[in-house]
Structure 1
Amino acid sequence: MKKLAGFTLGLMLSLASFAQIKIHSHNDYTHAKPLLQAYAYQVYEIEVDIFLIGDSLIVAHSKKDKDLTRTINAMYLDPIANWTKDDAKRGVKTNYGFRLMIDLKDSWSDVYPVLRREIEKYGKLFDKGKDKNAIQIVMSGNRPADSLYHKFPSWVYFDGLPNINYAKADLKRVTMISDNFAAYSKWKGVGEIPAADKLKLKKVIDQAHRLNKPMRFWGAPDTQECWQQLADLGADIINTDKIVECKTYFEHK
């Protein structure tokens, strides 16, 4: 009976941790005010794509639209560091709990050494392993083998994938489970999701929750109908390019 009670309490706490919908600012650097708008609306996660060009980490959707002045330092890391320093002087915390997702568009073996050098310039600011109040860095895109996750420095966390049997030590470095919405449904975001698609989506959401991880779908229709139906199915993080509309929608429901 005690075991059952403990399991029930644990399940309730797990479900409660996913109860509040979180907003993921997809390709944040393409927005009118990169970083600033996402921060002002206190989104849960801010996503930035990077390429290695020469010895610099350039923020871009593809190498065709690169701008060598748009480095990850200039657009994200330096502003966050400066805000933190200024706020500390005023006795204010900059970090309300947001995460910075870095989507590696070039090979892990090429990008990671350069990214590590740049991140570690900021000391504990981005190292959740050394400071519980640090801004968490989450790696997505081209990642190493999942069996190696636990071997990386304490600031390195990963965006997880479904249907992987993560070892316990590696799972600790996984912040969420993410997958392509199109792998489960061709629905365009108007009306109801087909019942068969709902079952497929619900199955992978439940799998993530059994790992005590939140679930995010990328590539889903960016409509109110889709946001709501994903939330109703139990998805925890809404991936959107419309952060103001999405945040406002859930706050005023």
Structure 2
Amino acid sequence: MYNFIFSLSTWTNIHWFSPEIWDPVRQEEIRNVMPVAVHSHNDYTRRIPLWEAIGSGCVSVEADVHFDKSDLLVGHSARGLKRKDSIKAMYLEPLERLIGSRNGDVTEGGWRGVFEKVPTQTLVLLVDLKTESRQTLQELSRQLKPLRELDYLTYWNGTSRIMRPLTVVASGKVTFEDILALKPTHRDIFFDALLASLHTPKDDWTTSPPTLAYNISNSYYASSELKDGIISLASDGDKISSPEEQDGSSSQPEQAKSRGLVSRYWGSAGPKYQTSEQVMWRYFTEVIGVGIINMDDMAAVRDRSRGMGKMAIQEKN
């Protein structure tokens, strides 16, 4: 049974920079959260960025960043950026402290994520680059150094993806080529691939297994606007004669899953799906297998009766 204690009513007059966030009572509220397959869209616009999302169970949060005077400032547009609203202050330093509090007695090589109910669940920080790819990505990598040195970041070691408490994904103006240019034996920033473009002529189907352009060595999410999504397809298995044809005729979530990626949908479904949002999201995540959905309303996420998808691992009674 789910046990939610987190409530914004107990966080009155608290902001992301308030030291009271670290009071034992508030941290205990965070400890009682069960994670759900929800991405906190434009998380930085919330009254308490990061903390409201984690307190609601979101396993992914989003920050738009601008390279500005050798720093990364958080905000949707260049107008109105504030020097105090840096990704370091709003996300990286709090996450370093929070993850550290979960891993004080963990032996080398082991780890616990921010969700104590499901300690193997990674938290995704989706960084939407609003400025030029290479310079912004290089600064992001530089600012991730403390987390990297503590071994808190998911990374590709040249042969395998090593999961850790925090997984960093770059989106927006980042280029795939700049992601590939990161250190191939310790790549700890992953690409947010286009879900509609996973099946590409760059895939090599002559190897065993096939060599696919977008894979776990370079990407984590594969994303699409919901209104443009190909969620499911009618099966016509008798006409499929090769793995390449099977991949090309698969639904978007299936294509993502076959590459080890997490399918993510954002935006409104519009008139395409004539059903309630609550039923629709549960159907997408639990029946079709969509990896994660964007949400803006954290109160709806906290309300299990509204039909949000659950993580595969649930709290034991």
Structure (1 or 2) with the larger CA radius of gyration: 2
Instruction: Please say whether Structure 1 and Structure 2 have the same fold, judged by a TM-score greater than 0.5.
Output: yes
Contact 1:21 1:250 in 2 (8 A): no
Contact 1:21 1:236 in 2 (8 A): no
Q: Identity of counterpart residues, as a percentage? A: 23
Contact 1:23 1:243 in 2 (8 A): no
Q: 1:51 to 1:215 in 2, by over 3 A?
A: same
Deviation at 1:184, TM superposition (A): 4.4
Q: TM-score, normalised by structure 2?
A: 0.60
1:127 aligns with 2:128: no
Deviation at 1:179, TM superposition (A): 0.9
Partner Cα separation in structure 2 for residue 157 and residue 52 of structure 1: 19
Aligned equivalent of 1:28: 43
Q: 1:70 to 1:64 in 2, by over 3 A?
A: same
Q: 1:252 to 1:86 in 2, by over 3 A?
A: closer
The 5 A counterparts of 1:36-185 are: 36-89=51-104, 93-96=112-115, 97-122=122-147, 123-129=149-155, 132-145=163-176, 149=180, 151-152=182-183, 153-162=186-195, 163-164=197-198, 165=200, 167-168=211-212, 170-172=214-216, 173-184=218-229
Higher relative contact order (CA 8 A, sep 6+): 1
Q: 1:238 to 1:73 in 2, by over 3 A?
A: same
Higher helix share: 1
Q: 1:226 to 1:60 in 2, by over 3 A?
A: farther
Contact 2:264 2:294 in 1 (8 A): yes
Letter in 1 for 2:301: C
Output the aligned Cα RMSD. 3.3
Deviation at 1:239, TM superposition (A): 0.8
Partner Cα separation in structure 2 for residue 84 and residue 147 of structure 1: 28
Output one character per residue of 1:199-241: Cα deviation in whole Å (capped at 9) or x when no partner. 59x8323332333433111112594254245334432211101
Structure 2 gaps of 5+ residues are 1-34, 116-121, 204-210, 235-249, 271-276, 311-317
Output one character per residue of 1:60-80: Cα deviation in whole Å (capped at 9) or x when no partner. 011123222100011000111
Q: TM-score, normalised by structure 1?
A: 0.73
Greater Cα offset, 72-81 or 154-163? 154-163
Aligned with 1:113: secondary structure? helix
Q: 1:132 to 1:199 in 2, by over 3 A?
A: closer
Letter in 2 for 1:118: Q
